[in-house]
């Protein structure tokens, strides 16, 4: 019943705000336009389309708000009025009452607000789909930001995820192409990340890890957590002061090098992905600021760490090789990597897949970012992939989303930015670090503690293995093993005696030459 009621709520919201009319307006075929005219009978909307879309997403809850946040960064794909309105979803979702926020803080720490803070701003400075943020001052004078979880989120998210799981089952049941996309696994991945975002202690831990990873890069700042004031519903962190990255005019007037800022954003993203395998996966403009303080001028300020993506060493290596192959226009290598990884059936012809990838990617190289839509490239690749039964990898869904966010930010900052040329040197350096002597030495040092513990144990382990073999009655095997050991011992003895004889011969020859030099 909850599933049916939620579905009815969604359908009613779509009808009330005229989202069906928005969808049909983009379809030019006659039958769709006739359907649009029929559904518009008796309905009138006073508000513009962008406002209606934003209000509908807000009404439907956090999952839909996050969808709107991602769309707001793609101004190349949306009309300007719609993109501008959706940008309000990034940090201007209607807040919940200040009294409720105060109650949640006091319940989380078991003390009155006045005992915790010297001052606490009742008016939230930012309100998003999952939580809202208040500024405060600790008793020792340090300025902090207090993040409070929006109440009632768990039930709403569980209802939406239940609906998405049902839809995923239907898609797999009735669509062969849908089964290839693994919708149930994608929903499960989304489920995990959303529930992680509802645990603010996990978010605080993510921030601490990212802060350690970025230490020394001098490109991005991450707030420090006050662990004695962190709970699953409320966390307190260092207050960061910066200008939202979307306010380009303010940044230019302050003297920020916008082109460098765009390049730094790409460097930060690829460092987090390929060096650390631990990346900020919610990089919409509402979560990114720029510092204007003299000591940190021009650095990024990262906020909101509820959604973090992780990659295994196998994932990083595979992705890096794919990126480099794309940058070098080695489409045959791209095809071979897809087949080797199991993303496409093993019987796929390399030359056919190579030709298809070339047709998609070649037109987009050597062009500035303003002329390249990564969304269009991904859509073409998606259309092409259906011919080859390419399987979507759920663990990379967050990476794909974040890459679109990065492109959206880059497009806003510097439309002339060449994303490929900026990323290629970084990836090549990363790959060089993964092969050859430096990589071998690094791996050897990493495994050294295990070797130091294992090597002294080898004689005992060998003795135990031989003893167990003898107890199992393996006399024939033992005799064969003894013969092999004796043969090995004779070989080693021969080598040692030979080496000793060679050394003695060299020594005698050297002495003879010395005697001759002395005139004996």
Residues labelled as active-site residues: 282
429 phi, psi to nearest 5 deg: -65, -40
Bridge partners of 143, per DSSP, are 137
b/e sequence 456-472, b meaning 16+ C-beta within 10 Å: eeeeeeeeeebeeeeee
Q: Counting Cβ atoms within 10 Å, is residue 184 exposed (0-12), middle (13-18) or buried (19+)?
A: middle
Decide if 129 contacts 93 (C-beta within 8 A).
Answer: yes
Contacts of 465 (CB under 8 A, 6+ apart): none
Q: Which three-class secondary structure state does DSSP give residue 234?
A: strand
Dist. CA 249–CA 228, nearest whole Å: 39
349 phi, psi to nearest 5 deg: -75, 125
The secondary structure element, H or E, covering residue 318 is helix 313-327
The secondary structure element, H or E, covering residue 278 is strand 278-280
Contacts of 491 (CB under 8 A, 6+ apart): none
The secondary structure element, H or E, covering residue 65 is helix 62-72
Decide if 113 contacts 160 (C-beta within 8 A).
Answer: no
Long-range contacts of 74-81 (CB under 8 A, 24+ apart): 74/375, 74/404, 74/408, 75/408, 75/411, 75/412, 76/373, 76/375, 76/411, 77/373, 77/375, 79/50, 81/48, 81/49, 81/50
| DSSP structural state of residue 92 | B
Q: Which three-class secondary structure state does DSSP give residue 109?
A: helix
Pick from 287, 282, 289, 302: nearest CA to 244: 289
Q: Counting Cβ atoms within 10 Å, is residue 270 exposed (0-12), middle (13-18) or buried (19+)?
A: buried
13 phi, psi to nearest 5 deg: -65, -40
Q: What are the Cα distances from residue 497, in Å, to 114, 425, 487, 494?
A: 85, 54, 15, 5
Q: Which three-class secondary structure state does DSSP give residue 164?
A: helix
């Amino acid at each position: 019943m909850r599933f049916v009621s939620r579905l009815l709520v969604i359908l009613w919201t779509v009808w009330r705000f005229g989202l069906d009319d928005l969808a049909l307006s983009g379809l030019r075929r006659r039958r769709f336009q006739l359907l649009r005219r029929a559904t518009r009978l008796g309905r009138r909307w006073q508000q513009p389309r962008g406002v209606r879309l934003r209000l509908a997403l807000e009404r439907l809850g956090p999952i839909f708000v996050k969808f709107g946040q991602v769309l707001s960064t793609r101004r190349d794909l949306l009309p300007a009025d719609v993109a501008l309105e959706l940008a309000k979803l990034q940090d201007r979702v209607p807040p919940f009452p200040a009294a409720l926020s105060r109650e949640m803080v006091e319940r989380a720490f078991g003390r009155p607000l006045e005992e915790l803070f010297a001052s606490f701003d009742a008016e939230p400075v930012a309100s998003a789909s999952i939580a809202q943020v208040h500024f405060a001052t600790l008793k020792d004078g340090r300025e902090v930001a207090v993040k409070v979880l929006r109440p009632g989120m768990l039930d709403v998210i569980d209802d939406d995820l239940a609906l998405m799981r049902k839809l995923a089952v239907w898609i797999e049941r009735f669509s062969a192409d849908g089964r290839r996309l693994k919708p149930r696994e994608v929903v499960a991945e989304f489920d995990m990340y959303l529930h992680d975002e509802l645990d603010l202690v996990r978010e605080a831990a993510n921030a601490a890890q990212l802060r350690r990873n970025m230490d020394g890069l001098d490109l991005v700042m991450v707030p420090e957590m006050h662990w004695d004031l962190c709970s699953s519903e409320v966390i307190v962190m260092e207050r960061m002061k910066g200008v939202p990255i979307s306010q380009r005019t303010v940044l230019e007037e302050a003297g920020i090098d916008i082109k460098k800022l765009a390049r730094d954003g790409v460097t930060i993203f690829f460092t987090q992905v390929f060096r650390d395998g631990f990346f900020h996966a919610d990089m919409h403009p509402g979560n990114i600021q720029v510092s204007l303080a003299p000591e940190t001028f021009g650095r990024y300020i990262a906020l909101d760490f509820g959604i973090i993506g992780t990659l295994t060493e196998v994932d990083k290596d595979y992705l890096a090789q794919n990126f480099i192959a794309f940058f070098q226009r080695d489409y045959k290598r791209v095809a071979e990597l897809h087949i080797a990884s199991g993303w496409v059936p093993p019987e796929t012809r390399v030359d056919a897949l190579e030709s298809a990838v070339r047709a998609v990617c070649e037109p987009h190289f050597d062009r500035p970012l303003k002329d390249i839509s990564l969304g269009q490239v991904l859509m073409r690749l998606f259309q092409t992939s259906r011919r080859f039964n390419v399987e979507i990898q759920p663990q990379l869904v967050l990476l794909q989303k974040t890459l679109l966010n990065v492109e959206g930010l880059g497009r806003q900052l510097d439309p002339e930015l060449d994303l490929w040329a900026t990323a290629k040197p970084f990836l090549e350096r990363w790959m060089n670090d993964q092969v050859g002597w430096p990589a071998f030495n690094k791996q050897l040092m990493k495994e050294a503690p295990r070797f130091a513990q294992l090597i002294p144990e080898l004689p005992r382990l060998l003795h135990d293995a031989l003893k167990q073999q003898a107890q199992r009655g393996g006399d024939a095997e033992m005799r064969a093993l003894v013969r092999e050991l004796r043969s090995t011992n004779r070989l080693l003895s021969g080598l040692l005696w030979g080496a000793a004889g060679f050394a003695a011969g060299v020594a005698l020859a050297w002495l003879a030459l010395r005697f001759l030099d002395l005139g004996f």
